[in-house]
């Protein structure tokens, strides 16, 4: 199994996810990875009617993102939408999907912001049950965006 065979891209359809999607397309293209898209609607007391409206809107956005992957000839599964606790759901789906990477976008950082990666990313790192034992410091590449990703083919200089 290659190191980046499958990865999860939890998208925030309420934010600009352009950099996250571009990074996912680039990585998936290089490593011939399968991408799983998902969005988690935060747990709230929403009526069934409101849930249906939200689901329809979010699925439309996720399908637009899916089309970007398809145009780039990247394998992408059907997008999924869940209602619940954001971090718990992302970690659960990552574990169930046996993914090798969770690629999370981040918002613009404020100067004195406590969480450098973003609150959700920080919580997911803390909640993740397993880390790949295959990674060693020499297997990390820094993308132009500042994101660090594991590399499974030493022949690929930089991404």
pLDDT tens digits for 37-76?
Answer: 999 999 778 899 999 999 999 999 999 999 999 999 999 9
Q: Are 78 and 41 in contact (CB under 8 A)?
A: no
Give the integer Cα–Cα distance in Å for 157 and 52: 46
Q: What's the token pair of residue 13?
A: 């359809």
Q: What is the pLDDT of residues 76-127, one digit of tens each?
A: 999 999 999 998 899 889 888 888 888 887 665 556 666 566 777 777 777 7
Q: Which domains are assigned to the chain?
A: 6-150 (3.40.50.620)
- List the one residue out of 82, 115, 119, 114 whose CA is nearest residue 104: 119
DSSP secondary structure, 50-114, as one string: HHHHHHHHHHHHHHHHHHHHHHTT-EEPPPEEEEE-HHHHHHHHHHHTT-SEE----PPPPTT-S
């Amino acid at each position: 199994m290659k190191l980046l065979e499958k990865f999860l891209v939890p998208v925030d359809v309420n934010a600009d996810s352009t950099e996250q999607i571009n990074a996912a397309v680039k990585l998936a293209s290089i490593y011939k990875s399968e991408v799983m898209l998902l969005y988690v609607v935060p747990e709230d007391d929403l009526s069934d009617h409101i849930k249906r409206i939200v689901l329809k809107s979010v699925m439309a956005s996720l399908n637009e993102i899916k089309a970007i992957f398809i145009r780039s000839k990247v394998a992408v599964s059907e997008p999924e939408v869940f209602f619940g606790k954001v971090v718990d759901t992302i970690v659960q789906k990552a574990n169930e999907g046996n993914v090798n990477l969770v690629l999370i976008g981040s918002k613009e950082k404020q100067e004195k912001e406590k969480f450098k990666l973003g609150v959700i990313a920080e919580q997911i790192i803390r909640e993740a049950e397993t880390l790949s034992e295959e990674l060693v410091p020499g297997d990390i590449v820094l993308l132009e965006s500042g994101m660090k990703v594991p590399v499974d083919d030493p022949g690929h200089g930089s991404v």
